[in-house]
Amino acid sequence: MSQIKEGWVGRYFEDFTVGDIYRSRLGRTITMTDNIQFTMITNNTNQLHFNDHYAKQTEFGAPLVNSALTLSVVAGLAVVDVSEHGFALGWDYIKLPNPVFPGDTIYAETEVLETRESKSRPHQGVVKVCTRGINQDGKVVIDYARSVMVWKKESAPAASIFPERAE
């Protein structure tokens, strides 16, 4: 008899403990195509992201990945551990200590800084985290702190929305 096994469904407010560190299970290699498409979609006209000839004349010698793409990828890698059952409340800071180049593979590492019950939403809590994007060489390429409103497990919307199969 076959049994359906639940996959990882993310953390609820009760699952967060200050000091815990979560490392993304997956990494994401950012391609030049990703970089150009994201840059054009967001109307960013800085040629450093899409003009190889121009970028070669800069101190970097090659195109840089759009920093907003770096933020999006790292935040996305951390969703399963941090905000799958919540939503962002705000960003405290974002730092970009090292450049990201097309072809770099990025991983996310997130540390829980604080947790508290929500004063206005009794079925949720606030979790503050620091997330670092780390490239394949172990260099931190982005470092940010943000707060997330997270559901308490007992009150959360249904985690499984997979439809029942019709026979």
pLDDT for the residue 4? 73
Domain limits, the chain = 13-155
Q: Which residues contact 76 (CB under 8 A, 6 or more apart)?
A: 28
* N-term to C-term CA, the chain: 17
Angle (deg, nearest 10), helices 67-82 and 32-41:
100
Q: Which residues contact 105 (CB under 8 A, 6 or more apart)?
A: 27, 28, 29, 30, 135, 136
Q: What is the mean pLDDT of residues 132-145?
A: 98
Convert the pLDDT of each residue in 79-92 to its tens digit. 999 999 999 999 99
CATH topology of domain 13-155: Thiol Ester Dehydrase; Chain A (3.10.129)
> SS3 for 6-60, per residue?
CCCCCCCHHHCCCCCEEECCCCEECCHHHHHHHHHHCCCCCHHHCCHHHHHCCCC
| pTM score, whole prediction | 0.91
